[in-house]
Chains A and B, each alone.
Chain A
Amino acid sequence: MSLFDKFKPLIDIRAELDRAGVMPFGAVTEKILSPTEAIVNGHKVILAGTNNYLGLTFEPECIEAAQKALAEQGTGTTGSRMANGTFAGHVALEQELAAFFARQHCIVFSTGYAATMGMGSTLAGPGDVIVLDADSHASIYDGVRLGGADVVRFKHNDVADLEKRLRRLGERTANTLIIVEGIYSMLGDQAPLADIAEVKNKYGGLLMVDEAHSLGMLGSHGRGVAEAARVEAAVDFTVGTFSKSLGAIGGYCVSDHPELEAIRFAIRSYIFTASPSPSIIASTRVALRLMQERPELRERLWANAQRLYDGLKGLGFQVSPQVSPVVAVTIKDRDQAIAWWSRLLHNGAYVNLVMPPASPTTDSLLRCSVSAAHSDAQIDRIISAFAQLNPSTAQEANN
């Protein structure tokens, strides 16, 4: 017996991939050429697995703001938000995010993981209840486990199952936190938030929605799935990240509950970590403004999503249930998925390989995400890279 015994399955998979000469996890981007192109593991590829939804990572105004902050404020804050790590920029970004979401309060975190994990672990503690969607992100699961509340799962996007679970809780719904996501990261499907809000309003409890993958994509202002479903009033806490649509790193929580201002000093992932660097805050603030000023980015993103979705579906691949900036191809056979991931890289497309337990089922995924910065020609090249995999084999692999 040793501490390492439990890692044996992981060690075996790694050795297997090594023997096959494929390393899909932690592929090295040797040179980044643009928001949509790079040299990865020696291959020049179209980036189709980055979450750079609005393509703002090379936006000159964002870079300029970050460079100015770097020169004027230094490389890092070297401290917690609760001690020396709250600069004027952090406070300004919190105000700007609150204004964007039309909420009273906002907390800025160092990462999206810290935001989701921190809120999940702090809002509900021992004696309280968390009811979460079964396909919730790892940061949500980690948070609720840390918090010590009773955790109950409901079937993914199944409102009847959620209702059944809330009904069983009886009076305990008064101290229950329901957690769902806006767009789910692996398959790109959306939560039925209008129905979830209705059930929440009927049984009570508070609702937290993780809009990490939907910020800047849906709703008339781009606030996400809750805005598109017109149920923002039923959402108590919205959490999200700067590392996708806003092209940086960091996280946030917005709410109208005035208690949030005190709760921030109870969130360990807010207190016991250094605050985001000034350059990160500076580029995020500009990206947040550009996202609002340029609704055409959102239109471009959805047009690209539709083009890729239709293209891959047309080739016979099993794609996600609904069109979304995340287009995931399901592959039953794990070895086939690994082989195809490698061939896609050779064919000029970088996508994400997702294997269980990171995928929601026992299937593997070749997960693509599109960007507003992709041109039609680039989307077609991604489709062409998939076409070279031989779609008739795709259907066989799923039979």
Chain B
Amino acid sequence: MPDYNDFLERIFVILKPFAKKGVILNENSELVTELGLTSLQVMELIEQIEDHFDMSIPLNILPDIRTVHDLATQLEKLSG
């Protein structure tokens, strides 16, 4: 069962090509306001995480997610 750090590591890998140039990724990076992800890119991020961990991520978690930390926390809850 993957834990918080496994999710965090994978999110960083996936986010790298998405994030605006010059922005340094960290747990507190905000996906939309800071990294500039569009709603379509957020969906793509979610899909890539689903495929990597072969898990189901319902859209319902999205309103609670602002930062990379929020996302990793929600994913850990889902897989637990």
Contacts and interface: CB of A to CB of B under 8 A. Distances in A.
Indicate, yes or no, whether A interacts with B: yes
A148 B60 CA distance: 8
A151 B55 contact: no
B56 A165 contact: yes
Contacts of B59: 151-153
Nearest to A141: B59
Interface string A265-309: 000000000000000000000000000000000000000000000
Contact of B56 (A148, A169, A357): A169
Range of interface residues on A (Cβ < 8 Å): 10 to 19
Given A357-B39, A362-B40, A151 B60 contact: yes
Contacts of B55: 168
Interface residues of B, number: 11
B29 to A, nearest CB: 22
A152 B43 CA distance: 11
A165 B50 CA distance: 9
A168 B54 contact: yes
A36 to B, nearest CB: 36
Interface in A319-369: 357, 362
Contacts of B60: 148, 150-151
B22 interface: no
Contacts of B39: 357
A151 B63 CA distance: 13
B58 interface: yes
B75 to A, nearest CB: 14
Contacts of A165: 56
Interface string A151-176: 11100000000000100110000000
A153 B56 contact: no
B40 to A, nearest CB: 7
A107 B60 CA distance: 29
Contact of B58 (A151, A357, A362): A151
Contacts of A148: 60
Contacts of B54: 168
B40 A152 contact: no
Interface in B47-71: 50, 54-60
B40 A168 contact: no
A57 B22 CA distance: 58
Contacts of B58: 129, 150-152
B47 to A, nearest CB: 8
A322 to B, nearest CB: 23
A2 B60 CA distance: 26
Nearest to B78: A150
Nearest to B55: A168
A160 to B, nearest CB: 12
Residue from the set B43, B50, B59 with the largest chain A CB neighbour count within 10 Å: B59
Contacts of A150: 56, 58, 60
A165 B56 CA distance: 7
A110 B27 CA distance: 48
Contacts of B40: 362
A368 B54 CA distance: 40
Nearest to B54: A168
A148 B50 CA distance: 21
Contacts of B56: 150, 152, 165, 168-169
A153 B60 CA distance: 11
Nearest to B40: A362
A384 B57 CA distance: 48
Nearest to A151: B59
Residue from the set A148, A150, A362 with the largest chain B CB neighbour count within 10 Å: A150
A207 to B, nearest CB: 18
B34 to A, nearest CB: 18
A135 to B, nearest CB: 12
B57 to A, nearest CB: 8
B79 to A, nearest CB: 12
5 contacts: A134-B43, A150-B56, A152-B58, A169-B56, A357-B39
Instruction: List the 6 closest A-B pairs by CB distance, nearest first.
Output: A150-B58, A151-B59, A168-B56, A151-B58, A152-B58, A152-B56
